[in-house]
Amino acid sequence: MAKKNGKKNGADATPAVALTIAPPNFQTLSIRIRGNAPYVQNKFSAKARQKMIDAQEAGSTGKKNRLREAKDFKQVYNDAMHISHEGWHGIPAPGFRNALISACKCCGFAMTRAKLSLFAEADGFDADDGTPLVKILKGKPTYTESAVRNESGVCDIRPRPLWAAGWEADVRIRFDADQFTMDDVANLMMRAGIQVGIGEGRPDSKKSAGMGWGTFEAVR
């Protein structure tokens, strides 16, 4: 008599498991937002990056007899802006994505899932560093100076571009429709505008409680 070993006629008798993976179901929602507070930008400039590269390449010898370069406040102000290849000003698209993900903390939705489900589409890219940008449709930057404290604890003056309240942009959010509805995304954007914000001095700033900057409302 043949010994039973779980096989029938030499074939594996283990039942096959059917896996059904639904195709991606992404949709896009365009939302016009209007700033109800100033938006302040502080891009890490090409000059600052080059100074860091030069210092690292020079090593310890680079610290000897190094003269302190005079600060060109107007140039620092210009370098702090995100400008596209086409010449328009923009807001980093990742800022909106991060704001939406952070706003999930207030709604009980897992941020780890939101990271895989929400994306801000770019209107163009920064001509200097390639950052994806959302075009600012209304408003012009003005010069402002902010007193800040460096990591060393020393106070400093930072020139920055500021867009007064009333600035506008169209933000296109691509989302997983199996995770969110369009109403979910619209409501999440409203929460992001009120509770999180974008740019410098926003309510959800990692280093402070904010300056009252960077908040916005959905107007369409």
Query: Domain residue spans in the chain?
Result: 29-45+70-218
- Whats the size of the chain, residue-wise? 220
Q: What 8-state DSSP symbol labels residue 176?
A: E
Q: What is the DSSP letter of 63?
A: G
pLDDT tens digit string along 8-64?
A: 555 556 777 877 888 999 999 999 999 999 999 999 755 555 556 555 666 666 565
Find where tokens 């903390």 sit: 105
- Express each pLDDT in 68-114 by its tens digit: 777 888 999 999 999 999 999 999 999 999 999 999 999 889 999 99
**Number of other CB atoms surrounding residue 106 within 10 Å:** 13
Provide the phi-psi class of 39: left if phi over 0, else alpha when psi is between -120 and 50, else beta.
beta
Rg (CA), the chain: 25
